[in-house]
Amino acid sequence: MFEIHKSGLKRGYPGIVRTEVIRVPIEKYVEKIRMDVKEKALKRTSWEGAHLKRFYVVAIDCKETMFIEEMDLYDALIGRSIYVMEPLPMPPVTIPRKVKQAEKRGWRQFLLDKHIIPHDRVFLDEKDQGFYFTKESKHISGVLARFSNNRFHFIPNPFAADEINDPKILNFFQ
């Protein structure tokens, strides 16, 4: 939406051009990613025997949704981070038991990088945690997404069930 106003000059120059910001409702896409991944994760509940020991990577295609970026995928799967500026004090943050378990399994660096373990004045918002903090998330090893720029990005699930949980999965997607 544009708005053009006449200038005070005698020649035909626009004086002011205003545009409204177009806001894409990313929150709806983030919620859709969460729902789609949950639906795919629940498929694993019908598996039996040796199939349950295979990594299960959910692939999603964000190519047609040009507004979705890697950060939105992190918001959907892990949650939103909060940065507390100096001199404000850091609020007390409780580290969930499943995060401590993932740390023991070898996910410490990933948990720090994504601020699942708080550090550098950044922590995960407990009120807006992503799909990986749900009970259904244990059924998937991670999510592989393709974006509009044809780039792929993999986000592993440090909270997957033991038989499909291995930090070395990152080596396959680097």
pLDDT at residue 31 greater than cutoff 80: yes
Q: Model confidence over 115-126: pLDDT tens digits?
A: 999 999 999 988
Q: Model confidence over 16-26: pLDDT tens digits?
A: 555 566 666 78
Closest CA to 55 of 65, 69, 41: 41
pLDDT at residue 157 greater than cutoff 50: yes
SS3 category, 114: coil
Which are the contacts of 110, defined by CB distance < 8 A and separation ≥ 6?
116, 156, 158, 167, 170
Which phi and psi (to 5°) does residue 73 adopt?
Answer: -65, -40
| CA geometry: angle 151, 112, 147, nearest 5 deg | 15
Q: Model confidence over 48-100: pLDDT tens digits?
A: 999 999 999 999 988 766 567 889 999 999 999 999 988 888 889 999 999 99
Domain segments of the chain as ranges = 26-173
Would you place residue 172 in the very low, low, confident or very high pLDDT band (cuts 50, 70, 90)?
confident
pLDDT at residue 142 greater than cutoff 80: yes
